[in-house]
Amino acid sequence: MKTPQFLVFLFVVLSVYSLVNIYIFTRAMQAIPCASSWRPWFIALFWFVVSAFVLARILERYYPCDFTEFVTWIGSFWLGFMLYFFLAVIVIDLARLINHFFHLFPSVFYTDYQKTKLITLVIVTGLVTITVIAGFINARNPRIKVLNLDISKSLPGRHSLKIVMASDIHLGTLIAKRRAEYLVSKINSLKPDIILLAGDVVDEDIHPVIRRNIGETLSELKAPFGTFAITGNHEYIGGVKEAVKYLKEHGITMLQDTVELIENKFYLVGREDRDKPRFTGQPRKSLEALMQGVDLSKPVILLDHQPFNLTRAAKVGADLQLSGHTHHGQLWPFNWITDAIYELSWGYKKIGQTHFYVSSGFGTWGPPLRLGNIPEIVEINLRFR
């Protein structure tokens, strides 16, 4: 990303982040009595957790250690708390506004108004905490999604092909060694013929992955036809050359605007991420250019991280496209936004003779929470005829 664009983006993000937290802080302070001995402690704790995420981003790059990891976890959880505190405060303020005109609240609310505000703060904090805990538990328990799809082509010597696909793993500080071991164990237990990783294998900075030697775990992925991956936007955010080099060194074949004919049986077509031009100034190949020379009598599996322009894959003759990126919003109500942006935010669709599946992903970005969707590993059984 060019420096001026990045600075504008950073300014906007930090401004929104600051304003939201000031709004939450102001409403919380109104609920805590001025004479309360908890007031100074609340102020100190609040601004520590607010600054933790920004501080962690700096420390991860220049001072990676256990303390940095601790700050990263605090800051990441706060993003989830912040969202739901913000929504709660908006609902409360809207209720107050409606009450101002229609006087719906019972008079008991005003008998001791300061006490009412404090009780409201406690209740909201409890509900938000329960929401965050539920989201964390959900995020730590991915499910196996099974798809059985028919392709009207033959596969020499085989009647079927089992693909296991995972997207948006986001390996790094939060999705670390133990989560990678869990992922590898689950994938291997499904006994896939081929393993496909549909982008965002790495969560931006590759250095936490290297420091924890997570590549050693990835190298244990086992499939007769191998393990293949494409780049996602997060590989580009963190430095695509280092990420690709590291993944290759640990047994993963990277498809970067390239086509692989697997044992003269079927094609894998892997696209560079859609954000490549933004970060490198270099265009990615068009889908039409990639498909030149592909024998369409053989099955064609396309990997494209971001699920835009699905009809193009159908027009060029792909039989199956696998994507990720959306997380289906990751946190409710952001799934409403991804539903509006993408033709397919999560799940299966067929256009013409082309099957599409967009995964909600395995890992998380930012808050280690998922609400409104289920993390997953996808087992796809292709049947040929």
Closest to 1 in 3D by CA, of 236, 306, 257, 242: 236
Token pair of 82 as six digits: 């912040």
pLDDT for 320 beyond 60 = yes
Which alpha helices (DSSP H) does 151-281 contain, by range? 177-189, 207-211, 214-218, 233-238, 240-249, 276-280
Please answer whether residues 168 and 199 qualify as being in contact, where contact means their C-beta atoms are separated by less than 8 angstroms: yes
* Dihedral of alpha carbons 84, 371, 53, 359, sign: negative
**What is the reported pLDDT for 2?**
55
Query: Cα(348)–Cα(86) distance, rounded to whole angstroms?
Result: 33
pLDDT for 209 beyond 80 = yes
User: 129-162, pLDDT tens digit by residue?
Assistant: 999 999 999 999 999 999 999 999 999 889 999 9
- Among 29-43, 47-61, 97-111, 249-263, the range scoring the smallest mean pLDDT is 97-111
Burial 80-109 (b: 16+ CB within 10 A, else e): bbbbbbbebbeeeeeeeeeeeeeeeeeeee
Residue found by looking up tokens 């696909």 in the block: 165
User: 175-185, pLDDT tens digit by residue?
Assistant: 999 999 999 99
At 169, give phi and psi (nearest 5°): -75, -40
Cα 335 from chain centroid (whole Å): 12
The model's confidence at residue 10, banded by pLDDT at 50, 70 and 90, is confident
pLDDT for 193 beyond 90 = yes
Closest to 151 in 3D by CA, of 287, 320, 17: 320
Q: Averaged over 34-56, what is the pLDDT?
A: 92
Please answer whether residues 168 and 325 qualify as being in contact, where contact means their C-beta atoms are separated by less than 8 angstroms: yes
Which domains does the chain carry?
3-138 (no CATH), 144-384 (3.60.21.10)
Query: Cα(306)–Cα(345) distance, rounded to whole angstroms?
Result: 10
Neighbours of 148 (CB within 10 A): 10
User: 243-267, pLDDT tens digit by residue?
Assistant: 999 999 999 999 999 999 999 999 9
Please answer whether residues 144 and 323 qualify as being in contact, where contact means their C-beta atoms are separated by less than 8 angstroms: no
Closest to 240 in 3D by CA, of 223, 224, 257, 225: 257
CA dihedral 105, 109, 115, 121 (to 10 degrees): -20
pLDDT for 16 beyond 80 = yes
Query: Cα(199)–Cα(236) distance, rounded to whole angstroms?
Result: 11
Gyration radius (Cα) of the chain, Å: 24
pLDDT for 240 beyond 60 = yes
**What is the reported pLDDT for 62?**
76
Of residues 126 and 1, which shows the higher confidence score? Answer: 126
Coil vs helix vs strand at 143: strand
Quote the pTM value: 0.92
Residue found by looking up tokens 């999560």 in the block: 346
- Strand 227-229 to 253-254 pairing: parallel
**What is the reported pLDDT for 6?**
66
Closest to 346 in 3D by CA, of 330, 365, 333: 330
